[in-house]
Amino acid sequence: MKTPLHTPSSPLSRRTFLGRSLSMAAVPPVLSAGLSAQAPASTESKPPAGPRIKLGVIGCGGRGLWIARLFQAHDGYELWAVADYFPAVADAAGNALGVDPARRFSGLDGFRRLLESGVQAVALETPPYFFPEHAQAAVAAGKHVYMAKPVAVDVPGCLAIEAAARQATQARQVFFVDYQMPTDPHNQEVVRRVHAGELGPVQMVDSHYYAGTFPDPAPQDSIAGRLQRLIWVNDVALGGSYHVNACIHAVDAALWIAGRRPLAASARARRGRPNAHGDSADVFAVLFDFDDELIWVHRGKHLDNQTGFDVTCQVQGQRGHAQIAYGGQAFLRSAEDAYRGEVQNLYEAGAVRNIAEFHRLVAAGSAANDTVRRSVDGALVTILAREAARRHTHLTLAQLLAENQRLEVDLRGLKR
């Protein structure tokens, strides 16, 4: 995932952060089609309303430590505890964040000790294989949950996240999934206009995610080495695959525009990166089917071939066309009107908005947890495409849900 998404005054990019070390990150049969966008919170520099929230961060590598610093900068949080599989990583994060050494935990079960340490909320930043277990345990312990995407790597994991979020809502706990594209005001305005009918009936959606690769060294006797530096993105069971972990941003944007899930997918994929060791494909082409003949085509490319980072979703309507993006132009042109805006520094700006919104929701006791549904749908839809490509077939979402196939990771040899 690489690009200059930034301007000279905003020197941080998605690739800059995601390319750094990231250590142990980790419904009913058919979900409702209702989808909602994340609402951005104000980023004005004023004291946040409500109490300071004692936060624990689970997964303290590159992105985990980075987002922990953003939580700390908000002033509505107290960085109370950290957990990471690797003791050295937990200690380094604890030193950087000023966390008491007694509240730094490691090993596979470190997250459980963190949940018992007095935290009120947790941020989950591990390989997504671990997300369902960590989220379920956090909700059961009465904690608010802020988590990265994708919410899971398989159907059982998606259903577990949906159930945990439903339990959180019943207990008035906040469960929030961090996507950045829906927080940008220009993207929001374009989607509002599309939904208002300014393009006429939507005929086609075209999404793509073009970026580079992550390190993919030869596996060792233990999988410990693949729990860091985003190596796990190369592994289907640990990271979901490049499509489920990365392309999901563009897929989420398309779901936001379409307002519903597709019924089926036909797909092809291949491994194009040199010296690949993980089992994830990195080049994808997907055609999604809807009941009203809407056409949605998605393409994904994760090769270090000088393409750069480009994540967009384009819409073709009868009277005009539009685009929303992770960086660059968001626009709408129709027979009657036009709109254009520049999406800038979204990786950081979107996270800052989401952190502020999470605090607002916790302080207000607002537990509708609207970000969960489309996040689960996005994970299911990317899993659908991954499996259709792996089988070289046309696969329906109903069939995928009925199979309910669980992916397993061999954790033998890892420290508890």
282 in the same domain as 255: yes
DSSP 8-state assignment for residue 184:
-
Percent of the chain exceeding pLDDT 70 equals 88
What order do you get walking across the sheet with 53-58 strand by strand?
Answer: 104-106, 77-84, 53-58, 121-124, 144-147, 175-177
In terms of pTM, does the model score above 0.85? yes
* Residue 354 belongs to a domain: no
Q: What is the pLDDT of residues 21-62, one digit of tens each?
A: 333 333 333 333 333 334 444 444 455 667 899 999 999 999
The domain containing residue 252 runs over which residues?
A: 184-344+375-403
Q: Are residues 96 and 208 in the same domain?
A: no
Domain check: are 176 and 201 in the same one? no
Is 114 inside any structural domain? yes
Per-residue pLDDT of the chain (416 residues; tens, 9 = 90+): 332 222 222 333 333 333 333 333 333 333 333 333 344 444 444 556 678 999 999 999 999 999 999 999 999 999 999 999 999 999 999 999 999 999 999 999 999 999 999 999 999 999 999 999 999 999 999 999 999 999 999 999 999 999 999 999 999 999 999 999 999 999 999 999 999 999 999 999 999 999 999 999 998 888 999 999 999 999 999 999 999 999 999 999 999 999 999 999 999 999 999 999 999 999 999 999 999 999 999 999 999 999 999 999 999 999 999 999 999 999 999 989 999 999 999 999 999 999 999 999 999 999 999 999 999 999 999 999 999 999 999 999 999 999 999 999 999 999 99
Give the chain's count of helices (H) and strands (E). 13, 15
Considering the domain architecture, whether residues 41 and 128 belong to the same structural domain is answered as yes
In this structure, are residues 405 and 395 in contact, taking their beta carbons and an 8 Å threshold? no
Distance CA 298, CA 395 (A): 15
Q: Residue 415: inside a domain, yes or no?
A: no
At residue 164, the 3 state secondary structure works out as helix
Report pLDDT for 106: 98
In a domain, 156, yes or no: yes
Residues 239 and 114 in one domain: no
Query: Tokens 């939507």 — which residue?
Result: 202
Grouping H, G, I as helix, E, B as strand and the rest as coil, residue 323 is strand
Domain shared by 54 and 85, yes or no: yes
Question: Are both 211 and 256 inside the same structural domain?
Answer: yes
Residue type, 334: S
Q: Render pLDDT for 67-125 as a digit per residue (tens, 0 to 9).
A: 999 999 999 999 999 999 999 999 999 999 999 999 999 999 999 999 999 999 999 99
Q: Tell me the DSSP string of 34-81.
A: ---PPPPPP--SSPPSSPPEEEEEE--SHHHHHHHHHHHHHSSEEEEE
Both 115 and 201 in one domain: the answer is: no
Same domain for 260 and 193?
A: yes
CATH of the domain at 158: 3.40.50.720
Asked if residue 107 belongs to a domain, the reply is yes
CATH of the domain at 283: 3.30.360.10
In a domain, 411, yes or no: no
Sign (positive or negative) of CA dihedral 342, 13, 92, 219:
positive
Whether 101 is in a domain gets the answer yes
260 lies in some domain: yes
- Let me know whether 281 and 189 are in one domain: yes
- Residue 50 has a pLDDT of 74
Q: Mark whether 107 and 256 lie in a shared domain.
A: no
CB-based burial of residue 167 (10 Å sphere; 0-12 exposed, 13-18 middle, 19+ buried)?
middle
Domain count, the chain: 2
Distance, CA of 391 to CA of 265 (rounded, Å): 11
Count of C-beta atoms within a 10 Å radius of residue 415: 13
Q: What are the start-end ranges of the E strands in 201-282?
A: 202-211, 264-270
Same domain, 204 and 322: yes
pLDDT at 28: 31
Q: For residue 285, which of 307, 271, 269, 273 has the smallest C-alpha distance?
A: 269
